[in-house]
Chain A
Amino acid sequence: MTEWLERHVPKMVLAPSFVAVLIFVYGFIIWTGWVSLTRSKLMPKYEIKGVIQYERLFASPRWDTAMDNLFIFGGLFIGISLILGLFLAILLDQKIRAEGVLRTIYLYPMALSMIVTGTAWKWIMNPGLGIEATVRNWGFESFTFNWITDPKMAIYAVVIAAVWQASGFVMALFLAGLRSVDEEIIKAAQVDGIPTWRIYSAIIIPSMAPIFLSAFIVLAHLAIKSFDLVIALTGGGPGYATDLPATYMYAMAFSRGDIGQAASSAMVMMGVVFTIVVPYLYSELRAKHD
């Protein structure tokens, strides 16, 4: 008996967590997927009616805006964060004495809640009292910076705040990558008289391809899940101008009482995440095995 117990104790210890994951991740995904195929409104119904919710979703102009915004926001946020992060990492890699302090300054936004970030930037970009007013006070009377209240530009205001928050993290990733490049190769290149910018562009940066990939995955994941920042910065407005899939889903679930729409939009979000993450995760686990 004790021997049996001894042999099975590891499994029994792991079991509660595994069951929890089975129910609260996989079971819940199935539940949401199921409900997305029904006509649920205020209360969930379990009678499958086909893909009507998805038809409604893709016919909805608000969802259209949300998906467009996701691609604009995601593309710019990921692109700018990657470029800025790499640039900062290279600057910091030049044997700077104050590196520790600067790194701390560049990275601290990542420790903040996106609600805090949104609150701060909402105030800074406030047209009446923020940057716009300040620059006008300096004598540039016609200066305008009202992105946050301009339906066409508001999504770019979200990009600014998001880049501010996450670019330091990309910097930290790249800096770690730069430090792990083989010193000998760099020294050999220097001895050969190859200029520094060529060493970076031809040797160091190509060797960091895996880091580009991880940074991309993390940023893409952040972008798709972005919810707090939009809520705090623009509340999805003006109108629906800065709606993202996450805010659409939340509005349907908790203020519109349209569970069918909430479920189908959540499933589409998951589809987007998985097309990005699953190949990556697969290759990660593969690589660990070999």
Chain B
Amino acid sequence: MTDFTQSYTAPRRSFGQLALRWLLFTLLGLFALFYLMPLFVMVTTSLKSLEEIRTGSLVALPRDVTFEAWSTAWSGTCTGVKCEGLRPYFWNSVLMTVPAVFLATLLGAVNGYVIAQWRFKGANLIFAMMLFGCFIPFQVVLLPMARSLGILGLAGSIPGLIFVHVIYGIGFTTLFFRNYYVTIPAELTKAAKVDGAGFFRIFWSIFLPLSLPIVVVTVIWQFTNIWNDFLFGVSFSQAGTQPVTVALNNIVNSTTGVKEYNVDMAAAIIAALPTLLVYVVAGKYFIRGLTAGSVKG
């Protein structure tokens, strides 16, 4: 009986389902447009001439594609007094990010290995204290850090920025590696110890080879965070050592001269390109970092 009525109503339901399906796709498409719109506007604006920007529409495709704004943004636009474009600052960011990511990841791996596999009394307390450090609003360390960098002779320098990013990156990287290594059975370490392998030997020959996924997640996470950082960059750099985010902000919010929106947009895309590229290539690991990071904030 129930079978009968069900097969009877089936066609009507599938029509409703079809309509729902269309609604679903429309909504998904509209949201996709919402997320893509700023990127689209940035790219098209960067390819227009200033004249076309003033007369045309925000969402229109460029009539005459020109890459002039891109070359100005890269090597000609002014940040403050100097007019050498974003290029030197882009390299500052590279010089800052690469060592900072490497060191923070290395320290995180070793720390995570100790906390997960070589437990000693107080190890958990230490871990909790490191984790806690991930949550502090960095405003609370800005003033003493500015003074300490001065004392260490690192004020306004790229090594100073590397130092800051490593220090405040340790909490995250340790968390990532600890959570990964804790899933590896302790018997493995025990057996290796019985065989006479030492602390570093076990790390080097057993744990490191197993670590590729978590290394990728950590590197991507650190790279994105450090490249995109603005607060430390603006607080601890000086003219000439600023990272690209700070230079971008100086370009966009400078009040002198004619506002070159196309150059602003090209500069913004240049500053975003490295992290965007990482996201497109390794999005899976980026998401994993985000969701792992959500435990810590």
Interface residues of chain A, those whose CB is within 8 Å of chain B, are: 6, 9-11, 13-14, 16-18, 20-22, 24-29, 31-32, 35, 44, 88, 91-92, 94, 96, 98, 102, 104-117, 119-124, 126, 129-131, 133-134, 137, 164, 168-169, 172-173, 176, 214-215, 217-218, 221, 224-225, 227-228, 231-232, 235, 245-246, 249-250, 253-254, 259, 262-263, 265-267, 269-270, 273-274, 277, 281, 284-285
Interface residues of B in 239-284 (CB under 8 A from A): 245, 248-249, 252-253, 261, 264-265, 267-269, 271-272, 275-276, 278-280, 283
How near does chain B come to A38, taking the closest CB pair, in angstroms? 12
Contact, CB under 8 Å: B297 / A277: yes
Contact, CB under 8 Å: A17 / B132: no
11 further A-B pairs in the complex, CB-CB below 8 A; given A10-B120, A107-B279, A108-B39: A9-B200, A21-B170, A29-B140, A111-B272, A122-B252, A123-B42, A123-B261, A164-B35, A228-B245, A232-B252, A273-B137
B294 at the interface (CB under 8 A from A): yes
**CA distance in complex: A254, B139 (Å):** 12
Give 6 nearest A-B pairs by CB, closest first: A113-B228, A10-B118, A111-B279, A228-B230, A25-B133, A266-B139
How near does chain B come to A101, taking the closest CB pair, in angstroms? 8
B98 at the interface (CB under 8 A from A): no
**CA distance in complex: A17, B113 (Å):** 13
Contact, CB under 8 Å: A108 / B261: no
**Chain B residues, Cβ within 8 Å of A35:** 143
**CA distance in complex: A91, B59 (Å):** 27
B204 at the interface (CB under 8 A from A): no
B227 at the interface (CB under 8 A from A): yes
A228 nearest in chain B by CB position: B230
**CA distance in complex: A111, B278 (Å):** 9
B95 at the interface (CB under 8 A from A): no
Interface string of B158-184 (1 = CB under 8 A from A): 000000000110110010000000000
* B residues contacting the other copy or chain, number (CB 8 A): 92
How near does chain B come to A275, taking the closest CB pair, in angstroms? 12
Contact, CB under 8 Å: A31 / B248: no
B38 at the interface (CB under 8 A from A): yes
Contact, CB under 8 Å: B275 / A24: no
**Chain A residues, Cβ within 8 Å of B269:** 116
**Chain B residues, Cβ within 8 Å of A32:** 140-141, 143-144
**Chain A residues, Cβ within 8 Å of B170:** 17, 20-21
How near does chain B come to A53, taking the closest CB pair, in angstroms? 13
**Chain A residues, Cβ within 8 Å of B37:** 124
**CA distance in complex: A146, B179 (Å):** 47
Interface string of B122-145 (1 = CB under 8 A from A): 010010111111011111111111
Contact, CB under 8 Å: B235 / A164: no
Contact, CB under 8 Å: B140 / A267: yes
How near does chain B come to A158, taking the closest CB pair, in angstroms? 15
In this complex, the member of B140, B167, B171, B174 whose beta carbon has the largest number of chain A beta carbons within 10 angstroms is: B140
Contact for B110 among A13, A29, A131, A231, CB less than 8 A: A13
What are 15 inter-chain pairs, A to B, with CB distance below 8 A?
A: A6-B198, A9-B200, A28-B145, A105-B32, A108-B276, A112-B276, A113-B275, A133-B57, A133-B58, A172-B287, A173-B290, A173-B294, A273-B136, A274-B135, A277-B297
**CA distance in complex: A116, B58 (Å):** 18
**Chain B residues, Cβ within 8 Å of A27:** 144
Contact of A111 with B276 at beta-carbon distance under 8 Å, contacts A21-B133, A32-B141, A137-B57 already known? yes
How near does chain B come to A218, taking the closest CB pair, in angstroms? 5
Contact, CB under 8 Å: A28 / B140: yes
